[in-house]
Amino acid sequence: MKIVVDPEKCRTSGNCVVICPEKAISIVDGLATIDETKCDLDGICIPACPHDAIRYEEDQE
C-alpha cells in the first residue's frame, strides 16, 4: 500500500504539505510529491486535499 497524488487533480494548494505530521510531502515541479521513506500511511493528507487528488493505492505486483 502507498499514498499517491493524481497529477491531473493536484492544484498544489499545499494543504497536504502543511498537515502531514511526517513532513513527507513537498511540492516538486508543480506537483505534490510524497517521500515514501517518510510516509507512515496514516492517511491524514487524503481528506485534507480540497481537490480529492490523494488516495491509497495497492502496490503493483
Sites of contact with ligand SF4 (CB under 6 A): 3, 20, 22, 24-25, 34, 39-45
State the minimum distance, in angstroms, from the CB of residue 60 to ligand SF4. Answer: 19
Cβ partners under 8 Å of residue 8, min gap 6: none
Q: Which C-beta is closer to ligand SF4: that of 24 or that of 30?
A: 24
As a whole number of angstroms, the distance between CA 12 and CA 32 comes to: 6
Task: Give the dihedral of Cα atoms 28, 30, 32, 35; nearest 10 deg.
Answer: -20
Closer of 30 and 40 to ligand SF4 (Cβ): 40
Pick between residue 30 and residue 41 the one whose CB is nearest to ligand SF4: 41
